[in-house]
Amino acid sequence: MKSAVVVFPGINRERDMMLALESITGQKPLSVWHTETELPKVDLVVVPGGFSYGDYLRCGAIAARSPIMSDIRAKSLKGLKVLGVCNGFQIITEAGLLPGALVRNASLHFVCRQVKLRVENIRTFFTNRMAKGAVVSCPVAHGEGNYICDAETLARLEGEGRVVFRYAEGTNPNGAMHDIAGIVSETGNVIGMMPHPENMIEPLHGRTDCRPLFESLLAA
């Protein structure tokens, strides 16, 4: 499986993501700088977490207009698998790859801790090795992870089973509607999530709860 990780100024989780992908797929991901205009030929592109452009204007708003995002958007329409994590979720949502928006946490505070995630959809390229309803631990680190959308969009996400992850056991860290932690596009090839699964896949992380998510990439 060939993958690429996009790097923007201020992003700081790209190496975490690249190490996670390499440790499970056995292939070192390519690093793509945001000013590139075309992706290399890959099966998956990941937009990682961090603080692109210092989170100025709105989280992800500036990065969403970087040159590489035009090609990511175009190739996603042709079926390229795209995964956005934390700031990456904000970026691909701002770029229109997913509906809704990520706004300030309800507490108005930055949150950095472990949460519980319940897997709601196991038919995606990132969850096919998971059990429906499984609850896993996963770290979060964000100030604007509060997922919102209009009532019609929310009804579609729920009705079409497009909520992939939900905060469980009262651990919602940001006030997101319906405890939404991650969603998938209508076409099934774009996933965005706020928690950081790349930081809970090996014993040195303390737990390996999220390793099956990355193993799902190979199975897909």
Tell me which residues are annotated as active site.
Answer: 86, 196, 198
Contact 83, 191 (CB under 8 A): yes
Per-residue CA distances from 160 to 98, 113, 155, 183, 187 (Å): 14, 30, 8, 11, 11
What sign does the dihedral 155-158-162-164 (CA atoms) show?
Answer: positive
Comparing C-alpha atoms, which of 176, 71, 67 is closest to residue 117?
176
Q: From CA 3, how far away is CA 81, in angstroms rounded?
A: 10
Contact 73, 95 (CB under 8 A): yes
